[in-house]
């Protein structure tokens, strides 16, 4: 496994997590605090999160396939982008577990 696979996952996990936190704050501002302008903000952030979550799914699935995770583990990581702040915690755990796989792959001799 290459480091770039993990890097792509980490970037998308952070982007998805930040957008989901912003979306949650926007929804609170719109419906609970009744702040003017929160509706437009919520719409824009919601659309951005929706599209980038699809990219996150593809990248996370790619990482899981290359790390040979079981299906339950894969689903757990894929759903992390739907719970506010969960993506940050899951990303740290996944990074710690995948780093040794990357190091092991880098240490293996390349056969011609």
pLDDT single digits (tens) 60-70: 999 988 888 89
Domain of residue 100: give its range. 3-106
Token pair recorded at residue 30: 């719109």
Count of domains observed in the chain? 1
Say if 51 falls within a structural domain: yes
Element (H, E) at 108: none
Judge whether 111 lies within some domain. no
Q: What does the pLDDT read at residue 58? A: 95
36 assigned to some structural domain:
yes
What letter would DSSP give residue 111?
P
Q: What is the mean pLDDT of residues 26-39?
A: 86
Q: What is the pTM of this model?
A: 0.83
Model pLDDT, residue 8 = 92
Asked whether residue 28 is domain-assigned, the answer is yes
Is residue 112 situated within a structural domain?
no
Q: Are 105 and 2 in contact (CB under 8 A)?
A: yes
Contact 45, 22 (CB under 8 A): yes
CA angle 71, 52, 89 (to 5 degrees): 55
């Amino acid at each position: 496994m290459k480091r770039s696979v993990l890097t792509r996952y980490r970037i998308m996990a952070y982007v998805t997590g930040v957008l989901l936190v912003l979306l949650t704050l926007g929804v609170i501002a719109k419906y609970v605090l009744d702040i003017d302008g929160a509706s437009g903000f919520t719409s824009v952030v919601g659309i951005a999160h929706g599209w980038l979550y699809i990219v996150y799914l593809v990248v996370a699935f790619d990482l899981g396939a290359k790390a040979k995770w079981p299906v339950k583990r894969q689903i757990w990581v894929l759903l992390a982008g739907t719970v506010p702040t969960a993506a940050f915690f899951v990303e740290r755990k996944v990074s710690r577990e995948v780093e040794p796989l990357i190091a092991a792959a880098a240490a293996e001799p390349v056969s011609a």
